[in-house]
Amino acid sequence: MKKILLFSLAATFLSAQSISAQKKKKSKKGKTEQVAPAQKTKKGDIKNYSQVVTKDAITDEGLFKAHKVDKKFLYEIPFDKLDKDMLWVTRIAQIPTGLGGGYMNAGSKTNEQMVHWVRFQDKILLKVKSYNNIADSTKAISASVRVNNYEPTLFAFDIEAFSTDSTSVVIDVTNLFSTDVPAISGLSSRLRKTYKVKRLDPQRSFINSVKSFPENIEVKQDFTYSASEPSTLRSTESISLQMNQSMILLPEQPMQPRIFDPRVGFFTVSQFDFGSDELKADEKTYIRRWRLEPKDPAAYARGELVEPVKPIVYYLDPGTPENLKEYIKQGIEDWQKPFETAGFKNAIIARDAPTPEEDPEFSPEDIRYSMIRYVASTTRNAVGPSVSDPRSGEIIESDIIWYHNHLRSYRNRYLLETGAANPSARTLKTEPKEIGDMMRMVIAHEVGHALGFPHNMAASYAYPVDSLRNGEFTQKNGIAASIMDYARYNYIAQPGDKGIRFIRQMGPYDHYVTNWGYRYLTANSPEAEVATLNKWVLEKANDPIYKFGKQSSSFDPQSQTEGLGDDPVKASTYGVKNLKYVAKNLSSWTSDQTNNYDDLEELYGELLSVYSRYTGHVVTNIGGVFENLKTPEQKGSVYTPLSKAKQKESMQWLQDNVFSTQSWLVDNNILQNIDYAGYPENLRKVQARHLGSLLNADRIGRLLDAETTSKTYYSALEMLTDLRKGIWKEAYTGRNADIYRRNIQRTYIERMEALLTAENGRRSSFDVATSDVSSLVRGELKTLRSKLKLAKNGNVNTITRYHYEDAIAKIDQALDPK
């Protein structure tokens, strides 16, 4: 499935702009398309073929013949393609700035659905087909599944004509692709409401191109909507975007699925099997993976490395800068070693795209070709999407998208996170080979997604923190157990550490998960594989380098985005120590070299973000619960609260390294050269973010849970008491509060008031209204108010006294809003 046209290939397929200028089109075999002879009209409005597909028609051969006649677009559907399973994927090809609030970009998928074309009398229906609910067709219940899951009709078409040999039917698809059909639109109901979309403007909307390939048809639409509040250029009151519709023929025989195990990380597809012997509709979840089968099954069974029947091949966008091609290819083929662990050699291959002279029929939009797209965009990102068969999880194709400006993000992070211990990172002009190595690892990471692997956030927790200061260890093992973690750089290593690897690399988990998902098994059903797959998991179950941790976890200290090492407190201590060194030298590495402050401003903002990430890792410890997925045959509990000692240590770390004034972050040599105001606010925003995270109802709820599961626990009361005494330390010690402390203290009262007045809706884990939260908060505010009444009369300066009086008034208001 192809979404974004990056190639500068000759225009060999029809487009709305060029197609009308042609009179005839040569077929892909080089023969001129002949106009079909006339036939008699058989019934109603059905016309002769020659009346519909006229001599002026421009035709593209492929899955269906796609004709353009004047302003009409026609599909000629072979009868043997009716009732065939097809996947319809809707993606944004081009998008206006800011649409979706930064969470959408060119290439974003907006819908994916299975469809099939059905004849009903003199109409052809495009029906949406679901594989969510299934049953074996030989079982009686399959009839009930069918009638209780009636397929919606996406669009209905009159039959315009039959082919001269009566093997296909012609329909007009112009209205399908030129009107606002919600199921294939790029604007969800939420976006329409946000931007106050009124309607699709037909005068500014048109079909850009229709291209037919052997296994897919690609349609590009240019849509303009009237909208009162568009995301950009508001005076236009318009939203324009280009959509790409991909219709893909699925394999006649689905691949044998492999049953998902949550202890191993894979993207999945799910179905409910009503024909199961279970006393319910049995949910079956399968992993998403490419179909790899050995060319020589006997040799494979003997343990020899064997090439697959059909290897995974990625082609490089011809627009890729020459100096980066080597690293992109290496990133793709880094997965060859894990596939060798699974018994396959040359399972994944990188190639340059053929030139038009080498292969005039090659197109990046042809589903048969997977691409590494290089996008000339200021977006700082890379993505690795794929298209899979919802019946089996088989990955059909993928396009990995690299946005040009993404390397700047990596250069900046390299400087900020490793600059203290890594002299080569202390520059804006990073060595090309180091930039190439970074890109290689990002490509390997995105290829991993395209192979079916989600992020494994536990991989960075697998190694002891101090091992990342050991050159020999890091060179051999990298900085995390998997390339699929967000462990980009070694921010643990300290100045003077020798031989350190600073950039991530493939790890042992990548070999393990590839073998688990891709090793070819001769079992005759998915269920017959389960015993072998479970055995492989149990063999590795007690080794942290083979643990999978979900990215979605907000409570597990083992599974944190951007973390390193098995102790967040220790790791963040090293990280902050390095950041202090970088902050001290940031001007000399940037503005002193460029004679302007642009890079200094950019990097200072990103330094605050890095510091905030290190802080967040420690915050997760408080109320932290380890999640170790296991089956009943394995010993121990799945969920275990973090020890009281480690939680108290974390609270003290936050008081010392976050909530106390961090003067190193408010260096006037930086701030007074990049902004005219708002200096205290830079620090307050970071502090407020993490204070709010601590004073989160779910976190307090987990601390309350610990009272029922542990004899020694860090209670919610103890956490709130420690927090109060730390945030208001000046009131307890008789000292003056500086502006930074006054800011965080006011923020504390705001957050506590928010907890006190929280709505009585359910949170994810407990009911706030009936919990101890309000009583704990009320008690803490009353205790604080009493302390402040004493402190304001102590030996403090005027601004501190005013601040305490104001705080007392705010607490009174919070406790008694009336």
pLDDT for 637-676, tens place per residue?
Answer: 999 999 999 999 999 999 999 999 999 999 888 999 998 8
pLDDT band at 776 (very low <50, low <70, confident <90, very high): very high
- What is the CB neighbour count within 10 angstroms for residue 469? 20
Backbone φ, ψ for residue 10 (5° rounding): -60, 150
Other CB atoms closer than 10 Å to residue 675's CB: what's the count? Answer: 14
pLDDT band at 320 (very low <50, low <70, confident <90, very high): confident
Name residue 124's beta-bridge partners: 119, 157
Confidence (pLDDT) at 275: 54
Residue 130 DSSP code: -
Q: Write the burial class of residue 199 (CB in 10 Å: 0-12 exposed, 13-18 middle, 19+ buried).
A: exposed
Q: Identify the weakest region by mean pLDDT among 395-399, 540-544, 609-613, 688-692.
A: 395-399
Where does the pLDDT of residue 513 fall: very low under 50, low under 70, confident under 90, or very high at 90 and above? very high
Residues in the chain: 818
What region does 715 belong to: left with phi over 0, alpha with psi -120 to 50, or beta? beta
Q: Give residue 149's pLDDT band: very low, low, confident or very high (50, 70, 90).
A: low
pLDDT tops 50 at residue 693: yes
Ranking 54-58, 77-81, 367-371, 797-801 by mean pLDDT, the lowest is 367-371
Q: Are 517 and 287 in contact (CB under 8 A)?
A: yes
pLDDT reported for residue 360: 86
Strand partners, 316: 352, 372
The pair of structure tokens assigned to 708 is 């029922």
Q: Which of 560, 581, 583 is nearest to 571 (CA)?
A: 560
Residue 557's contacts (CB-CB under 8 Å, 6 or more residues apart) are 461, 568, 617, 620, 621, 624, 626, 642
pLDDT score of 128 more than 80? yes
What token pair was written down for 702? 């987990």
Question: Hey, what are 249's tokens?
Answer: 């023929």
162 phi/psi in degrees, rounded to 5: -110, 150
Burial 294-308 (b: 16+ CB within 10 A, else e): beeeeebeeeebbbb
Is pLDDT larger for residue 120 or for residue 107? 120
User: In percent, how much of the chain has pLDDT > 70?
Assistant: 89
Q: What percent of the chain has pLDDT over 90?
A: 72
Q: Any idea what DSSP says for residue 759?
A: -
Mean pLDDT, to the nearest integer, of 294-302?
97
pLDDT-based confidence at residue 707 (cuts at 50, 70, 90): confident
Q: Which residues neighbour 694 within 8 Å (Cβ) at sequence distance 6 or greater?
A: 619, 622, 654, 719, 723
* Mean pLDDT calculated for residue range 378-385: 70
Q: Which pLDDT belongs to residue 386?
A: 84
Indicate the pTM of the whole model: 0.86
Quote the mean pLDDT of the chain: 88
Confidence of residue 102 (pLDDT cuts 50, 70, 90): low
Apex 238 CA angle, 235 and 242, nearest 5: 140
* DSSP output for 4-58: ---------S-BTTTGGG-S--B-TTSPBPPPPPP----STTPPPHHHHS-TT-E
The Cα 589–Cα 426 span in angstroms is: 6
User: What per-residue confidence (pLDDT) applies to 119?
Assistant: 96
The answer to whether residues 360 and 12 touch, using CB atoms and an 8 Å cutoff, is yes
Q: How far apart are CA 737 and CA 219, in angstroms?
A: 64
Sole residue written with tokens 């998991």: 537
User: Around 673, how many Cα atoms within 13 Å sit in the side-chain half-sphere?
Assistant: 18
Residue type for position 73: F
Q: Which SS3 state, helix, strand or coil, does residue 248 take?
A: strand
Tens-digit pLDDT profile for residues 205-256: 999 999 999 999 999 999 999 999 888 888 899 999 999 999 999 999 999 9
Answer yes or no: are the C-beta atoms of 171 and 163 closer than 8 Å.
Answer: no
Tokens of 157: 């078409």
Q: Which of 593, 498, 508 is nearest to 543 (CA)?
A: 508
Which residues lie closer than 8 Å to 197 by C-beta, 6 or more apart? 187, 191, 225, 226, 227, 239
Lowest mean pLDDT among 131-135, 147-151, 157-161, 559-563: 131-135
Comparison of pLDDT for 95 and 198, the residue scoring more: 198
Alpha helical stretches, state H, 188-321: 189-194, 297-301
Is the Cα dihedral 677, 679, 684, 686 positive or negative? positive
Token code pair at residue 466: 């101090």
pLDDT at 131 (0 to 100): 67
> Higher pLDDT residue, 282 or 34?
282
**Main-chain phi, psi angles of 190, to 5 degrees:** -65, -45
Q: How confident is the model at residue 377 (pLDDT cuts 50, 70, 90)?
A: low
Backbone angles phi, psi at 434, to 5 degrees: -70, -40
State how far the Cα of 184 lies from the Cα of 178, in Å rounded to an integer.
11
CB 588 within 8 A of CB 426: no
Judge whether residue 147 has pLDDT over 90.
no
pLDDT recorded at residue 25:
38
Question: What SS3 state is found at 395?
Answer: strand
Angstrom distance (rounded) from CA 19 to CA 62: 17
- Rounded average pLDDT over 713-739: 96
Token pair for residue 222? 């240019």
| Torsion sign, CA atoms 716, 719, 724, 725 | positive
Lowest mean pLDDT among 36-40, 313-317, 814-818: 36-40
- Write down the pLDDT at residue 232: 85
Q: What is the DSSP letter of 306?
A: B
Residue 759: Cβ-neighbour burial (10 angstroms; 0-12, 13-18, 19+): exposed
Can you tell me the mean pLDDT for 435-448?
A: 93
- Report, as an integer, the average pLDDT of 699-712: 89
Position 32 scores a pLDDT of 37
565-570: average pLDDT: 97
Residue among 456, 458, 653, 431 nearest 543 (CA)? 458
Using CB atoms within 10 Å of the CB of residue 637, give its burial: 0 to 12 exposed, 13 to 18 middle, 19+ buried. Answer: exposed
State how far Cα 577 lies from the chain centre: 31
Under DSSP, is residue 94 helix (H, G, I), strand (E, B) or coil? strand
Q: How far is CA 92 from the centre of its chain?
A: 16
Mean pLDDT check: name the lowest of 583-597, 742-756, 761-775: 761-775
Choose the weakest-confidence range: 54-63, 383-392, 545-554, 791-800: 383-392
**67-97 per-residue burial string, b: 16 or more CB within 10 A, e: under 16:** bbbeeebbbbbeeebeeebbbbbbbbbbbbe
Give me Rg for the CA atoms of the chain: 31
Give the pLDDT confidence of 16-30 residue by residue, as tens digits: 333 333 333 334 433
- SS3 for 642-679 is CCHHHHHHHHHHHHHHHHCCCHHHCCHHHHHHHCCCCH
> Is residue 114 exposed (0-12), middle (13-18) or buried (19+ Cβ within 10 Å)?
buried
Question: Tokens representing 33?
Answer: 């398309």
Residue 456's pLDDT is 97
Note the pLDDT of residue 2.
Answer: 40
